[in-house]
Amino acid sequence: MKILVAIKRVADPDNANKVKPTADKVDTTGLEWKPNPFDEYALETALRLTENGKNNKVRQGEVVVVTIGNKDTETQLRSALATGADRAIRVEAEDTDLDGRLVAAALKSVVDAEKPDLVLLGKQVVDGDSNSVGQMLAQLLDYPMATFAATIQEEADGRLLVGREVDGGVLSLRLTTPAIITVDLRVVAPTSVYSKHTDAGFKYSDGVRFAALPAIMKAKKKPLDVKALADLAPGKTNGSSYFRFEAPPARAAGVKVPDVATLVNKLATEAKAL
């Protein structure tokens, strides 16, 4: 199976206190950057779907990672290559020039050229939380789509059985490839993803795998192509504009209540939670 994984870097969510919104933009000077966590889950999913799932794993497919960003975003691509991706593509652009529609249009051109069996994305990016690119890309490509995937099982005929966690249960979808899946948090649990080569009952380590240190060195030598945004999305420009940014209000101090009765009373009358 050939899989295309789209990844985006985000300002380290652990450093949220360093973010300084001004009236017209979020100042990103000096912030540390990390891959969007859901995109890391998408990459882990892609690796699990393209290997035999035994200890001493053997690759059984190809994983291509793509990002849209400036030269600095190659750090996140190299890190994906170190984790196990085979090739990388960077589409040159600045974050401020992009919106979901433009990103989806550029990714469509990449898909048209690469012809993967599956496109994997995180369900959303933790900076803007738009949750739109996967859905728009499915529309542009006219591919079957499953969002918020928690489990993926590749069946013998190559179709993908996807479990989506929805309110009150799991919704199962069977997709014919080529297809698009956006993944949720639990897709990296030990038994969430099985390729058709993986032994039933094989358990992965929980979470996203570590890049082996020797692989970090070798990642420098893996191919990384750079493409121009104008070539991939000709004539298209950023259609969204931001007009104001505000920091969330500081949390007010809590109150101590003397006893349980007061607490229940406050919950009922002030918070109206009961």
Partner 1 sequence: MAHTVNRYKADIREFHFVLFEQFKIQELFGKAPFDDWSEEVAVAIIDEVHRFGTEVLGPLNAVGDEQGCRLENGQVLTPDGFKEAWQKMYEAGFKSLSISPEFGGQGAPTGLSAITTELSSGPNTAFEMYPGLTIGAAELIEAFGTEEQREHYCGRMFGGTWGGTMCLTEAQAGSDVGEASTTAVKNADGSYAIKGSKIFISGGDQDLTENIIHMVLARTPGAPKGTKGLSLFIVPKHRTDAEGNVTGPNDVSVSAIEHKMGINGSSTCQLAFGDNDACIGYLLGTEETRGMRQMFQMMNYARVGVGLQGLAVASTAYLNALEYAKERKQGPSVRNFKSADAPRVPIIEHPDVRRMLLDMKARVEGIRALIAKGASHLDRANSLKHTGGSESEISYHEGQLELMTPLIKAYSSDQAFRICETAIQVHGGAGYTRDFPVEQYCRDSKIFSIYEGTNHIQALDLVARKLNLGGGQYAMALLQDIGKFVEKHQASEVFRKSIGKLSEAHGAVSSTAMQFMTWFQAGEMERVPLVANRFLKMMSEMVIGWLLLDAAMIACERQEALDQEHPDWSFYEGKKHAARYFALNVLPEVVASAETIKLGDRSPLDIPDAAFATV
Residues near partner 1, by CB under 8 A: 18, 20, 27, 29-31, 55, 75, 78-79, 82, 205, 207, 209-217, 219-220
In whole angstroms, the minimum distance from the beta carbon of 30 to partner 1 comes to: 4
Q: What does 252-267 look like in DSSP terms, one character per residue? A: PP----SSHHHHHHHH
> From the centroid of its chain, how far is CA 70?
18
What is the Cβ-side half-sphere exposure of residue 17, based on CA atoms within 13 angstroms? Answer: 2
Report the nearest approach of partner 1 to the CB of residue 70 (Å): 15
Nearer to partner 1, 83 or 151 (CB): 83
Taking the least distance from each CB to partner 1, the nearer of 205 and 241 is 205
Residue with smaller CB distance to partner 1, 140 or 215? 215
Joined together, the tokens standing for residue 23 give 């009236």
Q: Which of 30, 258 has the CB closer to partner 1?
A: 30
How many residues does the structure list for the chain? 274
- Spatial neighbors of 46 by CB under 8 A, at least 6 apart, are 3, 5, 63, 85, 118, 120
Residue 65 C-beta: closest distance to partner 1, Å? 15
Q: State which residue, 29 or 269, has the beta carbon closest to partner 1.
A: 29
Nearest distance, CB of residue 186 and partner 1, angstroms: 17
- Nearer Cβ to partner 1, position 7 or 133? 7
Kindly provide the residue ranges of all beta strands, DSSP E only, lying in the chain, ordered along the sequence.
Answer: 2-6, 9-11, 20-21, 26-27, 33-35, 62-69, 87-92, 118-122, 145-154, 160-166, 169-175, 179-183, 193-194, 224-228
Q: How far is the CB of 87 from partner 1 (least distance, A)?
A: 18
SS3 44: helix
Residues in Cβ contact with 12 at an 8 Å cutoff, skipping those fewer than 6 apart: 31, 32, 33, 34
Q: How far is the CB of 211 from partner 1 (least distance, A)?
A: 5
